[in-house]
Structure formats: C-alpha cells, structure tokens
Structure 1
Amino acid sequence: MTIERLGIVGGGQMGAGIGEVAAKAGIDVVIVEAAAEIAEKSQGRISASLEKAVSREKISRADADATLARLQFSTEPGELADRQFVIEAIVENLALKEDLFAKLDSIVTDPDAILASNTSSIPIIKLAAQTNRPDKVIGTHFFNPVPVMALLELVQSLKTSEETVERARSLGEQLGKQMILSKDRAGFIVNYLLVPYIVNAIKMFEEGFASAEDIDNGMKLGANHPMGPLELADFIGLDTMLFVQEVLYAEFADPFYAAPPLLRRMVDAGLLGRKTGEGFYRY
C-alpha cells in the first residue's frame, strides 16, 4: 500500500529530515509542532537543506520547489486526522511520548492508520499500550542526517502485526531506505551495540587512560570508522546518550549499562556536544 499522506509530530532535526525525504518522494506531509516559531524553524531547516542540495546539483530547483509545496507546517494536532501514517519524532522522553500516543490514537481518525515512533531506544510496546490499536504501532528509527543516512530500523513489538511491518517496510522503500527489522527491546539493534561502545570510550577518557583525540583517532584510523566514539557522542548529543543509556540500564539491570559519572556531570553542566558548542570537544 502506497502512503500518500504522512504526518510527523516534532519538526526538529530528525522530524524535519524525515519530512524532507518524504516530500521529495512525492508524499503529502504535515509536520506538527508545539509553537509557531518552532514550526517556522523547522521549515527553515528544510529550506536550507534543499538549497544546499540545489547548490550541489543533487536536486533541481523545480524539484526543490515541488518538495516544499508538499510540506505543510502546523501547530494544530487536528491536522493529522486524515493521515495514513504518523511518525512521532519528539524529544526522547517516555512520559511525553506515552501522552502523545494516547492523543494520536484519538486524533487520527482512520482506524487502519499506523502510529510510529522514531525513538532510538524506548521499547515500542510501552507506546503501543497507550492506544487502542497496538497492532498498528511500530518503531521507525531513522538515522541522522535523514536525507543522507540510508538505514531505517523497524521495530516490531509483541503486538505489532505483520501487516503493519509490511506497510512500514513499503514506506521505507518509498523513501529509498534500506531496512533492518528488530524485535522490541531497549536499544533495538543499532543502539544496543553502539551505546556500550561509546560508554567504554567515555570511561577510558574519564579514567585518564587516553586523550579524546587518541581514542577517536584509534577507531578512525585503526577500525576505519568515519567518526570516533567521542566525536559521535557529541554529534548525537550527550543528553540523548544519557537517556538511551538509562533506558538500557532500566531494561537489563546490568552495571555494564550504568552511565559514567562524567557523562552525568557534563549533561548537568549543559555540555551536550555540538548543539551547545561544547562536549568532549569545542565547536
């Protein structure tokens, strides 16, 4: 089934990226934000991305204009009522996401519409349980920057139907993504593997075992990684790293997943990485 009408809640870096890719693919997109100024910022983010693509001759001016014409920005959740597929892309906060899914279940009128989450770590069943359509709730974890990264991680809860998985897979194909399918547990596939790797790098730095530069260069030059673990943590956001780690620790109760004290102190200090100008590096 081809998706023609997509809704996105949250027009930040991830939501805007998903919206851009979907509109490029010919899908009518509504992005809902909490306030008008945030919606304007989301629109500006997508416009800037498309301008860059035009300047690099990745897309024609006509295609960029057509992409923007398929995007609608709103502060009214009711604009999502007729959507066939809605993706939640708000901040990684369980309580906020649970509340949103309960509301979306009432707002989106089509009982066959799929409600998806871009969460990078939260078990999908926790969100599905807030709805009367748990079989139509799925994880659609995109990667940043969405227009560049090819991967889409689909997450199937114990309640997610096979039909929902196939419809999500079909949307991924429309968006030109390559998909992997994970069962529902904290961290899914990618972050279950990635977060402990980054945490060990933070512990090495915290203990004075090596400098940030040497840790990162070791993995870039020795393992052919495009970014070192501490650079990547700054790119993701240290607050997001801490949240994902806490979700993993809550799920598995293994000290291996406990957050290093340094990570907590940096988040408390507002040193969140690139988005605040300083983390393990200054930007």
Structure 2
Amino acid sequence: MASEVIYEPIEEFGLIKKKVSKALFSKIGIVGCGLVGQNIARVASFYGIEVVFIEVSEEKIREAYRNIGKILDHRIEHWGLTQGEKRAILARIKGSLDYKDLAGCDFVVEAIRAVDRGGKIKERKKIFRKIEEVVSRDCIIGTNSTTIIITELSSEMKYKDRCVSFHFSVSSREARIMEVVKGLYTSEEAYEKVCQFVKLINRKIIPVEESAGLVSVRLFVVLLNEACETLLEGVASMEDIDATMKIGLGMRLGPFEVADKMGLDKIVRWMENIYAEFGDVHYKPSPFIKRLVRAKQLGVSTGKGFYEYDEDGNRLTTTNTNC
C-alpha cells in the first residue's frame, strides 16, 4: 500500500506578506537637490536607502545626477568604490517633478536655497504644506537649515509634532556629523526617529537647542569675518592665514577654503540672518565677502571666490586677484 502523502501549509514556517513589517527609513525624500540635497541623497543611497528627490525642472534633475556621478567617480579613482557599487547607488536615487512621488517616504527633507530670509521662510512653509498633503501621518518632515527656526517653520502645519531641523555638514567628506534640533512642537518620538536615521548613515549626532546658526555656522562666520579683517589689515596673506589654521590649529581646510566650498552667497545669507537675530556686529558680513558676492564670485561653484578653480573644482595656484 502506497504511503499517504501529507501536505502541510508552508505559511506557518515562512513570512506571510501582510505580516512583513516595513523597515524604517527604507525610503526618504528630498525637496531641492542642490549641493546639500545631492550629498544627502548620495550618502543615504550608499547605506541602502531608496531616495526620491524633487526638483523644478528636468534640467535640474539631470544636473543633480551628473554631480552625484562625478563624486562617485572620484571615489572610484581613489579605490573607495567599485563601478558596480556606483550603479547600485544611482539605481536607488530617483528624480521627479511631482510631489506625489514622495508618498511612502519615512522621512522627507526640505533642502532648497532661497535668496532672502523672508522669502526663504515663506517658500519653505509652502513646501512643508505640500509635503504634508502627500505623505503618511508617521512620515517625519525636516529641514536642512542653520538659521531658520523649526518652530516658526512648522507653525502652520497640521501635525507640528513631526517636524524637525538639522544641519548636514558638507564642508568635507570627513565631517561626519549632523546637528539635530528639536523645536517647541517636535515630539520625542519624531526626534528619536531622526537620530536613528543619523546613526543609520554613520553620522555623529550633535544635539542642539533652537538657535540661529546652531553651533557650526555661528562659530564659523565669526572666524571668517576675522580672517577677512586680518587679510585686509595686511597681517598675512590669504594662503598663510589658511595654512596657519590648518597646520597650527589642525583644521582640515582654512576659513577661506571652507567658504569657497560652501558658497559665499550662502554664507552671506547665514550672516545676515544671524545678525538680524542677535544684532551683534561680529555676525555682520565683511564688506570684503559682499564685494565678491556682488561680482558673482561665489567660490568653487563659479570657478572663482577667494581662490580660483578649474572645471573640476580643483584649486588653481593663483589667488583671486580681485580680492
């Protein structure tokens, strides 16, 4: 007599789809993919997170992809990445013009650049509301900002408790920190989730109370202003001031080099916002910096700032003679 075949359901021994919980931060969104947005997208994707970023035009989307690709190529050239890893990173990043593509994100970051403080707050509030319309209730909404107070920015939101602020440092690849700010309305749960994200992308958390400029920018702008004064007084050359800070005080880049990398127009806005908040002349932008900004000599992005640069952003040996 043939033995009877016994069938047992495999569901008891495996994962049923409806019971599989979605991993936190499996997908994040970024609104505005300039320098900061590109760095957030690249780093998050490197750690296996799916990224969708929103831009205003297809041209901006292509530009973001090109810039991310260049940074990855640079890492490949220095044996820090393989071609296969580059393809995998780029495959996890998607550009879009439609806010609806932010649906399903666990965390959405607003990282736009604006011209003035009033316009910046108004525009960012509008973006926050547009994000809230398409994401779930559990999605955290944050801004990468140093001079805008998150309590003010989230004041018109339906769910204010999920809004946070942070500063993703891009001064160098070694600057693995994020200043994280909990606003007046921010819940402890939302704050802890953002801290989990920071750890996930291998950054050190710097808890900061709400304050214009936070820690990094507030200290840096004073240093840069003083460096400009030292230069204008003829105490030392630009190169020697930078060398003093690098060799003498252990900074990876000097104040003029950092400023060019960050963008002088961005730094002037920081200074004006902090000066408006505190009224201290130490934060008021040096006329020297403002002159460069008026001449559209903004740093690495334009090929000329305090120093001059080639098309790949490498510094040339000559100093900007218009300084």
Q: Provide the residue aligned with 1:41 in structure 2.
A: 63
Structure 1 residues not aligned, in runs of 5+: none
1:273–1:280 CA contact under 8 A, matched in 2? yes
Which residue of 47, 50, 69 maps to 1:28?
50
Change (3 A) 1:53 1:266: closer
Measure, in 2, the Cα distance between the counterparts of 1:165 and 1:206. Answer: 44
Change (3 A) 1:204 1:96: farther
String of CA shifts for 1:172-229, please: whole Å, max 9, x gaps: 1111111111011101111122211111112222344432122212212221212111
Aligned identity (percent) is 33
String of CA shifts for 1:82-111, please: whole Å, max 9, x gaps: 211001111153333232223222232x11
Higher relative contact order (CA 8 A, sep 6+): 1
**Paired letter, 2:267:** M
SS in 2 for 1:95: helix
Measure, in 1, the Cα distance between the counterparts of 2:297 and 2:78. Answer: 33
2:197 is equivalent to residue 171 of structure 1: yes
SS in 1 for 2:308: coil
Change (3 A) 1:138 1:16: same
2:280 is equivalent to residue 254 of structure 1: yes
Which residue of 263, 276, 279 maps to 2:305?
279
Q: Provide the residue aligned with 2:20 in structure 1.
A: none
**Paired letter, 1:137:** C
Instruction: Tell me how many residue pairs correspond in the alignment.
Output: 282
2:33 is equivalent to residue 8 of structure 1: no
Change (3 A) 1:94 1:200: farther
1:21–1:146 CA contact under 8 A, matched in 2? no
* Structure whose alpha-carbon radius of gyration is higher: 2
Which residue of 249, 258, 270 maps to 1:232?
258
Q: CA deviation at 1:246?
A: 0.9
Structure 2 residues not aligned, in runs of 5+: 1-22, 115-119, 310-323
SS in 2 for 1:31: strand
Q: Normalised by the size of structure 1, how large is the TM-score?
A: 0.93
String of CA shifts for 1:2-54, please: whole Å, max 9, x gaps: 21110011111211111111112111110111100110111122222223333
Q: Normalised by the size of structure 2, how large is the TM-score?
A: 0.82
Measure, in 1, the Cα distance between the counterparts of 2:182 and 2:41. Answer: 22
**Paired letter, 2:123:** L
Q: Provide the residue aligned with 2:130 in structure 1.
A: 103
